[in-house]
Structure 1
Amino acid sequence: MIKKTSFYFTLVMSLLFSSCQARQIQLTREGRSSYSIVIPAAATATEKSAATVLQSYIRSATGAELPVISEPGLQSAQAIFIGKCSVTAAGKFDKARDDGFSIIQSEDRLFITGSSGQGTLYGVYYFLEKYLGCRKYDAGPAVVPRNPQLQLPAGISEVVNPDFIYRQSYYPMSNDAEYLRWHGLQQFEDLWGLWGHSFFKLIPPSRYFLTHPEYFALTGGQRRATQLCLSNKDVLQLTISRLKEMMADNPDAVYWSVSPNDEGGYCTCELCKQTDAEEGGPSGSLIRFVNKVAAAFPGKNITTLGYGYTAAAPRKTKPAGNVYILVSSIDAFKEQPVSTIPSAAAFRQQLAAWSALTDHIFVWDYTTQFTNYLSPFPIQHITGPDLAFYKQQRVRGIFEQGSGDTYSDMAELNSYIQGKLLWNVNVNTAQLTEEFCKGYYGNAGPFILRYLDARTRALIDSKRHLDIYGNPVTDIRGYLSPEHLRSYNQLLEQAQAAVRGTLYEERVHRVRLSLEYATLQQSRHFGVDNNGFLADNGGPFYTIRPEWRQKTDALTALAKASGVTELSETGLSPEAYKAEWYSILDKQWPSNPVRGAAVTLQNSFVEDYPAKGKATLTDGMTGFTDFSYNWLCFYGQDMIATIDAGKEINVSSVALNFLEDQRHWILPPVKITIALSTDGIRFTEFKTVTPAPLTQKENIDIIKITATGAQQKARYIRVTAVCPAALPDWRSHPSKKPMIACDEIFVFP
C-alpha cells in the first residue's frame, strides 16, 4: 500500500510540475502494449462503458489487450485516463463544457475526459475515429482498420464542445445504440418526458369536454376541442397536476412539452383575446401560460412550440429562464439555404424576434420529403449552411426530422453529415460527403458522388422549389425529368458494375431504390404517354405495359430489404404499396374519345400543382387519391373548361371526377353544369348535376359525376364546376379558401 501511494503521489506531482513535453505515444507494438486504461475509483456507468469500448476497439484494431484498472491500482505512468479521475482533476485536463470532452496528452499519459452526461464516451468514439481511423457509417458493424503498430502523434491537446446541446438526426440509424453514442446524437424519447403537440395529452377532450367545455378554445363563437383556453385558471392547475404525476413517473426526463396542438383553432374568449391584443398575437397567451407552468417546476425545463399560429414571438412577455422555445422551419423550401431563400423570410424574422427574448431556442428542421420518403431529395448542399446559420442565431438545439424509423433517400449519408455538423458547423460538407461515399460505397463511391452532384446541379439549374411535401411528379419539369432520371440511372449502373458481387452492391441498390420509385410514381402521371404504364391500342380500354408488374414486385422486395416500413409519413407499407399498384394494374382504364382535344379555361388553375396544365382534362388519364397526381386544381374559383373536339361529334354523356380531400381543403363543387355548342359561341345546357351535401370526413374520396341526356351534336363541350363559397366550420381557416380538383372530362357518344 505504501508503494502504491508513493507512486500515485509521484504521478500527481509530475502532472502538476511537468512541462507536458510533446512526445509520440507508441500505444501498441506487434499486438502488445504496456498501457493500461484507468477509470476513477468510483467510476460512473458512462466511464465504465467508455473504458470497455476503448479496450474493445483497440483490441480489434491492434490485437493488444489493454487492461482496465481502477485508479487506486495504477502502478505505471503509461496509461489512458478515462473520465474524472483524481489525477485528471489535478492536471486540470477537464476543460470541456456541456457534454463535450477533452483529449489531452501529458508525456506518456493520455486523458479522455467528458464534461457531463455521456461526454467521456463521446470522447472515446472521437478518439477511435481520429486516431485509429474507425468509422461507423450505419447501424451495422463499425469499420476498424488493422494496425498492430499503433502510434499516436505528439502533443495531442483537443477540447471539443458541441455547437448544440440538443442534437437529433431522426433517421433509422439512430435506433442503433452505438451509432447514437458514436456520433454524439440524442433521441427525444430519452430527453423528453412529454414531447411535441401536448395540450390534449395533458387535458384530453374525451375526459373533459362534455363536462367542462370552458376548458377548451372559444372559436367561431363556440367552445370547440381544438386547443385549450389558456386564460382559464382550472386549465392551469390541471396542467400542473398532470405534469406532477408524469414527472413522478419519469424523474430523469430533462424536458417537458406544454405545446399547442397541430392546426389552428386557438381561443378567442375575452380574456385570451385581451392578452393576445397586448402581446401582438396568440403566442402571448401561450408564453404567459407556459411561464406559469414553469414557475411550478423551477428545477425542470419546459418546452413549447413557436409554430403555426404561435410562430411570431410575443411583443412583451419573455419566456422564463427554464422555458425553451421550439421553432419550426416548416414553410421553407429546400433548394437554397434557410439564410437566403425567400420562402424562409418570415421564419428568419420570427427566429430573430424569439432570439431577442431568449437564448433558449431549439429548431425543428425538416430534411426529407414526408409525402414520398423514397423520392430523390437533394438537400446535402444546404445542411452545413443551415446549421451554421442556426448557430449564428444563438439556437441551442436542433431536431433534424428525417424519415424516423423507416428508410428514405440517402438516409445513411444524411444522418452521417448531420451528426458531424451538429457538433461542429464548420466541418467541410463536401469533404465529409466524399469521405463517406468512398468508405461506404467502395469503388462505387466516385459514381455516387457524381450522381449526388448531378442531381444537386439539376435542382439548382431548374430554379424550382424543393418541397418537403412534394413528390416526383411536382419535379417532373425539373431535376426529376425523364431525361435526368435516365442520366442518373446510367451513373448508378456504373456504380453497381464497379462493386458487383461485394457487400457494397446492396448499398448501391438502396441508392437506386429512389430512382425506381420515382419512375413508378411518374408513370401514373404520364399514363398513356411515353414513360407511362398504359398503352393505347385503339380499343375502348387502354392496356397495361407488361413490364410494370415486374417493376412493382422488384421495388417492393428492395424496399422491404432496405428497411422501408412506410413510403410516406403515416403512409403505405411496401406491401400495401404493391397492393395499390396491383389494383391499378388490374382495373380497366377506359379510353377517352376526346383524348388530346384542345381545352380553354376561363379561370387559372393552381400553378403549384400544374399536372399537365389545361391538357390534364383530356390527356386520357384519371387521378389518384394524391391531389398532385393528374388533378387540375382551382383555388377559390370555379372551373369553367371548354373542350374543342375538333369537329362535331355525338354527345350522350359526359363523365368526370372531383377529388374530396378535406384535410387539404379540397372539396367537391356544389354544382356541375354541362353545356354544348356547335360554334363555340352559343351554348345550351345539356345537364346540371348537384353532388350530395358535404359532410365531415377524414378519408379521401373521388366523387364520380356522370351527366347523361338525349344524344346531341356538338363540337364544344363546356363544364362549369362551381367552387364552394366558404370552408365548412369543421375545416375553417383564416387564410384558406376551398379548392376544387378535376382530373379528366370524358365525352361519350
Structure 2
Amino acid sequence: MFRFKLALLCILLCSLTSCKAEYKGVKADGYIITSEEDGVSQKWQNYLYNQLQKRANNKAKVIKSTGVNPKIPAGFKEVHIEIAKDLKNDYCVENNAAKINLRMHDEKTAVWMIYQLIETIGQQDHNFSSLDLPPSIIEFSDQCTNFDFSYRDVHLAPNLDVDYATIIGTNTVDDDWGIWAHNLHKVVKLNEATRAKINGVPTDEQYCFSSDDLYNQLKAYINDNYGSGNKKPFRFMIAPNDNDLVCTCEKCTEAGNDNRNATPAVINLINKLSLDFPKHFFYTLAYRTTQKPPDTELLDNSGVFISTIDVPKGIEITGNKKFAVLKGIVLDWKKKTNNLYLWDYISNFDDYLTPLPILTGFKKQFPDFKKIGIKGLFLNGSGYDYSPFDDVKTYCAAAIMMNGGLNADSLSARFFEKMYPVSHKLLTKYYSGLEQKINETGKAYALYGSFKSATRNYLSTESFITFYNALTKIVGSTSGEENEKLQKLLTALSFTRLQVAYSLGYSSGGAFVIDQDQVKLNADIDVYLNQLRNFNKYKDLGNFKENDGKLGDYILGWQNLAKYPAKRNLLVQGKLQFLSIPDEDYTDLSTLNDGVSGFSSSYHYGWMLVSQDDLHLKILSNNLSEVRKLSIRFLNEPHSGIYAPTMVQIIVAGKIVKSLSPKLDPNDGKIYQVKENLTFEKGTKDFEIKIIRNAKGKRTLACDEILLTK
C-alpha cells in the first residue's frame, strides 16, 4: 500500500510541475521519413531515405511519405525534416517515442545532422550499417543549439576529403574557397597595371590593389568560375603577397597606404567586390602589411582572418601577454567588422611525423577565442601531408569547434573504439597519455620545433618505444581497413623511432655503436628504415616537414651514415667550453664531439645552431698529441637563414695558427666542410676554435661535429 501511495505521489508531482523524462532514443521497428512541403526540405528527406535504404539489411524498415498526417505503421517512428532559414538556431531537435522532428537552419547543417542520426541509429539498431561513420557527437534529446563557431576548418589530410568534411560538418580550403591565402598569383596576370610601385619603381613582388585591371581580372575570374553565388556562395581571400612591400602609387597613397600599411587599398578592393557579389564572401589577412584595420567599415559579406602565430600553443592563455596583444588586434578589427576569424596552428611544421597532442591545449584556448568575438577558426596543420593520429585529431577538433563543452578524452576514446576495433585500447592509452603529459608539463609546443623540444615537453622516448613495439605486434592481428591504417601509422612512426634512436646515441636503444674505432649503426636501424621505406605506398606520406622535407632524402642520410662510417672522435673524452654566447636552446656541447654526423635534410637533426655570436670554443684534451686531422661540417640552408661560415680559425696559446675557408662537399650540395692536417706539440692540453659567421641573412651558423682523428 505504501509503494502504491508513493508512486501515485510521484505521478501527481510530475503533473503539477509539467515534468517529463528526457527522451533520447531513436531505435524503432522502422522509420517513416517525412518533410515540410518545400523543395529544399524534400531534397534532404530524399537524401536521408536513400541513405537509410542503402544501409538497411531489411529495406522494408524504411518508408518515405509525402503529404500531411502520414499513416505511421505500428512500431515505426517518424523522422521529419525541415530546412528553416528563419530558424534562430543552427538546429533544433524534438524527440518522443513516436517522432523525431529535425529542423536545420541550412543545408550544410542538414547533411551533417542526417549522418549524426544515421550513425546513432546504426549504434542502436544493427539492421542498419554505420561502421564507416565516425561516432555521433550529439544526443537526440529536445534541444535548440548554436555551434560555437560558424566556420570550422581542420587543415589535416582527412578533412581535405570533401565527402568526409561534409559528414563531420567542417569547411575545407578546396571546396569552400575560390581564392585562398596568398594565392592571387594563381588567378591574376601580372602586368604594368597590376604591379605595385614602391617609391615610384614597379615591382613583380607585390600588387597594386587600387589597380582597375586587378579589380576587373578578379571580377571576371569570379564570374566565370563561381557565378553570382546564388547556387552556392564561395569565399575569396584578397591578401597581398607574403612580404613587406606596399604599393605607394598615387591611387594607393590617396586611398591611405603608406610604406608599411597596405590595408586601405586592400579593403577598398574587398568592399567593391563585396558589392558586386553580395552572395559571396570576401576576406583579407591581418598579417604583415595588412595587420592594421582600415578607417572604413567592411561590408556584411566581408571579414578578416587574424593569425595566432605569436600566441603559445597547447597551454592556458588567459592572462598571457602575447594573447593580450592578439586580443588588442582583434578588438581593433571588431570596430570595423563582426566577421572575425582566427588562423590558428596545430602542427609542428618542422616535424609532421612525431606524434603531437593538440586537443587538450586547443580546448584550453577555445573559451578565450570565443570571448573576444571570434566566429570561425582555420586550424592550420600538415594539410595534404599525412601525420600520425590526424584522423582522431580531425574528428575531435571538428566536434569541439561545434561544442566546446565536449570532452576531448571521451571523444578520442569513442573514435578509436569504433574505427580501430582490435587496436583501440592500445591507441587510446598512448594518445591520451600524450595529451595528459603535455597538460601536466604546461609547456607550449613549438610550431617549428626540434625532436629534443618534443621530448622535453611531452614525448617520453621510453613510452614511445613500448608503444611502437606493441603496435608492430598488433598490426598482424588486424584486417581490412584497420590493418591498412595501422600499417600506414607504423610506417610514419618509424621516422620517430629512428629519431628516438638518433637521440639516444650510443646508449641502450640508440642508433650507434663503436666498432674498431668507427661509428657504425646499430643493427636495429635497418629494421626501422625498411619499414619507413614503405612510405612510397602512400601518396600523402612523402614529406616529414613543411619545406624541403622529402622522406627519401632523410632515408638517404641514414644510408650515408652506414656507407661512410665516421672515425671515432678523439674529442669524445675531451672537454669543450663556450667562449662565446650560445643560443638558449643550444647549450649542449656534446653535439660537437659525440662522433655523430648531422642530417642535411633538417637543421634539427644533429646540428648546433648559433645566431647570437660567432662560435668560439675552448677545447681541452689529454690526447691532443695523437691528433693528425681536423674535420668540421656546416649546413648551408639559405631559405632557413642558415649559411656556412666564412672562416674557421685555429688558435693555440693565443695565436691564430690556421685560417681555413669551408668548401662545398661534392657529395652533398647543402654541406660545407673544412678538412685539414693538424698536429699539436707534445704537452699541449688545449686550443681554441673560432668560427666566423656569414654576413648574409640572419647569419645563423649550423655546425654538427668537430672531429679530431689520428
Normalising by structure 1, report the TM-score. Answer: 0.78
Q: Do the aligned residues in 2 keep the contact of 1:307 with 1:327 (CA within 8 Å)?
A: yes
Any idea what SS the aligned residue of 2:267 has? Answer: helix
What is the number of residues matched between the two proteins?
674
**Candidates 183, 195, 200, aligned match of 2:168:** 183
**Candidates 614, 621, 640, aligned match of 2:596:** 621
Q: Calculate the aligned-residue CA RMSD, in Å.
A: 4.1
1:262 aligned onto 2:237: no
The amino acid that maps onto 1:216 is A
Inter-partner Cα distance in structure 2 for 1:529 and 1:274: 67
The amino acid that maps onto 1:168 is D
Any idea what SS the aligned residue of 1:262 has? Answer: coil
The structure-2 alpha-carbon separation of the partners of 1:292 and 1:36, relative to structure 1 and needing over 3 Å to count, comes to closer
Q: Which residue of 1 aligns with 2:315?
A: 336
Inter-partner Cα distance in structure 1 for 2:202 and 2:212: 18
What aligned pairs does 1:402-421 form with structure 2 within 5 A after superposition? 402-421=381-400
1:68 aligned onto 2:72: no
Q: Which residue of 2 aligns with 1:4?
A: none
Q: Which residue of 1 aligns with 2:92?
A: 102
Any idea what SS the aligned residue of 1:668 has? Answer: coil
Query: CA offsets, 1:354-380, max 9 Å, x none?
Result: 234321112222222222222011112
What aligned pairs does 1:520-599 form with structure 2 within 5 A after superposition? 520-528=498-506, 530-539=508-517, 541-557=518-534, 560=537, 564-569=541-546, 572=549, 577-599=554-576
Query: CA offsets, 1:192-212, max 9 Å, x none?
Result: 1111113433545xx43xx56
Q: Do the aligned residues in 2 keep the contact of 1:594 with 1:747 (CA within 8 Å)?
A: yes
The structure-2 alpha-carbon separation of the partners of 1:465 and 1:109, relative to structure 1 and needing over 3 Å to count, comes to closer
Inter-partner Cα distance in structure 2 for 1:140 and 1:308: 46
What aligned pairs does 1:29-178 form with structure 2 within 5 A after superposition? 33=30, 35-38=32-35, 40=37, 42-43=39-40, 45-57=43-55, 59-60=56-57, 64-71=60-67, 74=70, 80=78, 82-84=80-82, 96-97=87-88, 100-105=90-95, 108-130=98-120, 132-133=122-123, 141-142=132-133, 157-178=142-163
Inter-partner Cα distance in structure 2 for 1:700 and 1:320: 51
The structure-2 alpha-carbon separation of the partners of 1:23 and 1:547, relative to structure 1 and needing over 3 Å to count, comes to closer
Per-residue deviation, 1:710: 7.7
The structure-2 alpha-carbon separation of the partners of 1:688 and 1:318, relative to structure 1 and needing over 3 Å to count, comes to farther
Inter-partner Cα distance in structure 1 for 2:488 and 2:281: 40
Q: Which residue of 1 aligns with 2:708?
A: 747
Per-residue deviation, 1:94: 7.4
Inter-partner Cα distance in structure 2 for 1:512 and 1:559: 14
What aligned pairs does 1:235-634 form with structure 2 within 5 A after superposition? 235-251=211-227, 252-267=232-247, 281-310=261-290, 312-314=291-293, 316-339=295-318, 344-442=323-421, 444-462=423-441, 464-486=443-465, 488-489=467-468, 492=470, 500-501=477-478, 515-528=493-506, 530-539=508-517, 541-557=518-534, 560=537, 564-569=541-546, 572=549, 577-608=554-585, 610=586, 613-625=588-600, 626-634=602-610
Inter-partner Cα distance in structure 1 for 2:235 and 2:559: 46
Normalising by structure 2, report the TM-score. Answer: 0.82
The structure-2 alpha-carbon separation of the partners of 1:650 and 1:496, relative to structure 1 and needing over 3 Å to count, comes to closer
The amino acid that maps onto 1:195 is W
Per-residue deviation, 1:438: 3.2
Per-residue deviation, 1:27: 7.8
Any idea what SS the aligned residue of 1:455 has? Answer: helix
Inter-partner Cα distance in structure 1 for 2:93 and 2:218: 44
The structure-2 alpha-carbon separation of the partners of 1:346 and 1:268, relative to structure 1 and needing over 3 Å to count, comes to farther
Inter-partner Cα distance in structure 2 for 1:647 and 1:276: 69
Query: CA offsets, 1:556-600, max 9 Å, x none?
Result: 337846963433235555556544533443333233232342111
Inter-partner Cα distance in structure 1 for 2:24 and 2:638: 67
Inter-partner Cα distance in structure 1 for 2:276 and 2:673: 56
**Candidates 699, 703, 710, aligned match of 1:738:** 699
Unaligned runs of 5+ in 1: 1-18, 86-92, 146-152, 694-698, 728-736
Per-residue deviation, 1:189: 1.7
Per-residue deviation, 1:674: 1.9
Q: Do the aligned residues in 2 keep the contact of 1:564 with 1:573 (CA within 8 Å)?
A: no
Per-residue deviation, 1:324: 1.5
Q: Do the aligned residues in 2 keep the contact of 1:203 with 1:238 (CA within 8 Å)?
A: yes
Q: Do the aligned residues in 2 keep the contact of 1:190 with 1:253 (CA within 8 Å)?
A: no
The structure-2 alpha-carbon separation of the partners of 1:638 and 1:358, relative to structure 1 and needing over 3 Å to count, comes to same
Inter-partner Cα distance in structure 1 for 2:330 and 2:593: 46
Inter-partner Cα distance in structure 1 for 2:124 and 2:351: 34
Unaligned runs of 5+ in 2: 1-17
Per-residue deviation, 1:514: 6.0
Inter-partner Cα distance in structure 2 for 1:653 and 1:270: 64
Inter-partner Cα distance in structure 1 for 2:641 and 2:539: 35
Per-residue deviation, 1:501: 4.6
The structure-2 alpha-carbon separation of the partners of 1:254 and 1:82, relative to structure 1 and needing over 3 Å to count, comes to farther
Inter-partner Cα distance in structure 2 for 1:383 and 1:227: 35
Inter-partner Cα distance in structure 1 for 2:21 and 2:679: 99
The structure-2 alpha-carbon separation of the partners of 1:651 and 1:571, relative to structure 1 and needing over 3 Å to count, comes to closer
Q: Percent identity?
A: 18
The structure-2 alpha-carbon separation of the partners of 1:460 and 1:498, relative to structure 1 and needing over 3 Å to count, comes to same
Per-residue deviation, 1:124: 1.7
Inter-partner Cα distance in structure 2 for 1:428 and 1:391: 17
Q: Which residue of 2 aligns with 1:195?
A: 180
The structure-2 alpha-carbon separation of the partners of 1:372 and 1:738, relative to structure 1 and needing over 3 Å to count, comes to same
Q: Which residue of 2 aligns with 1:696?
A: none
Q: Which residue of 2 aligns with 1:216?
A: 196
The structure-2 alpha-carbon separation of the partners of 1:651 and 1:273, relative to structure 1 and needing over 3 Å to count, comes to farther
Any idea what SS the aligned residue of 1:473 has? Answer: helix
Inter-partner Cα distance in structure 2 for 1:177 and 1:330: 27
Q: Do the aligned residues in 2 keep the contact of 1:80 with 1:112 (CA within 8 Å)?
A: no
The structure-2 alpha-carbon separation of the partners of 1:557 and 1:725, relative to structure 1 and needing over 3 Å to count, comes to closer
Per-residue deviation, 1:50: 3.1
The structure-2 alpha-carbon separation of the partners of 1:123 and 1:640, relative to structure 1 and needing over 3 Å to count, comes to same
Inter-partner Cα distance in structure 2 for 1:446 and 1:186: 31
Q: Do the aligned residues in 2 keep the contact of 1:101 with 1:122 (CA within 8 Å)?
A: no
Inter-partner Cα distance in structure 2 for 1:350 and 1:245: 32
Query: CA offsets, 1:288-337, max 9 Å, x none?
Result: 45335544544432111112443x43373433333210112223332314
Inter-partner Cα distance in structure 2 for 1:473 and 1:365: 23
Inter-partner Cα distance in structure 2 for 1:602 and 1:23: 72
